[in-house]
Amino acid sequence: MPLDVMNKIVNTLGFINSLVLMKVSKKLSGFVKDTKFEIDELEVYFEIGRSEIRFKRYVIEFVAEVQPLSFSYDSYEEDGSRKDKKKTFVAGKGQLDQFSENLKWLFQNRKISLNKFKLVIPDDDDEESRKKYMDCVVEALRSAENLSSRNVKTSCLSSAEISQILPIFPAKNLEYIEFFECDFAGYEQLVHLEQWKKAERCIKCSELNIPMEFFLQFKRVKVDIEPGEDPTVIRDVIDNSNNLESVLIQCCSMNINYINEVVSVFNLKEDSMYLTPNKKSFTVNVSERQIFIKTL
């Protein structure tokens, strides 16, 4: 069978079904591994006693019950309704071991292009567990022959943990970086990565404790600020950046008075224009809980 026909067949089967095809023969396994898959979004989620792998409409869940380990595979229709659920019990293996084995199976020696990769590790896990989770993910991602992603999103990770994940994805393909509920203490390693420097957009929903000069290279920035933080930091970014196209400032606390404080820093009224010292013009739209600033 011609290679281009085989390639179309494998891509039509999809990522999950191709894993089954790999078990048919060594020849098919090798062909599937040589096929580059494009996946819209893949999410890895950990919490004590449970872990998940989510992509497209599929969910693979591992739950550490008393004994044995529960391993389930769910698929969903486009409208979100459950299509199929298969549950398997695995004796003699821990939840993390089973998860690690399957995650690595998904990536090992494969060519995968992601639109978004997301990693979530709730901050209620102990330090030892977090390290095991991180080692598991890093090992699996690095086992891929070719791996890229346009967007890398993390939640509840420290800057040190993010610094382990970002370098795995080539900087030339990375456009968006998103950080939610992150601890940015010790950010120095993170902001000196090529992936940080090359990305076009940054979404950071946490305290503004990274010096503003490290945001100057981004074209688009979205930040959440809390009462007590200095809103002039945002103005400094706008005034000093040559690349900036837009900034979305949000106040999670919905403190309208604080939003007004940010507005007063810019000395603006609703739907006004802001002119930087370098004579660069921005339109400013002020709503109840956010300010959107965009270059003209």
C-alpha distance from residue 82 to each of 13, 50, 54, 152, 276 (Å):
19, 20, 14, 27, 52
Residue-level pLDDT at 38: 72
pLDDT digits (tens, 9 = 90+) for 18-40: 666 666 666 666 666 666 667 78
Strand partners, 220: 201, 246
| Count of Cβ atoms closer than 10 Å to residue 220 Cβ | 18
186: left (phi over 0), alpha (psi -120 to 50) or beta: left
pLDDT in tens, the chain (296 residues): 566 666 666 666 665 566 666 666 666 666 666 666 677 888 898 877 778 888 766 777 777 654 554 555 555 555 555 555 555 555 456 777 778 887 887 788 788 889 999 999 887 667 888 888 899 999 999 999 889 999 999 988 888 899 999 999 999 999 999 988 777 777 889 999 999 999 999 887 665 567 777 888 899 988 877 666 676 777 788 888 888 898 888 776 555 566 666 656 666 555 678 888 888 888 888 777 778 888 87
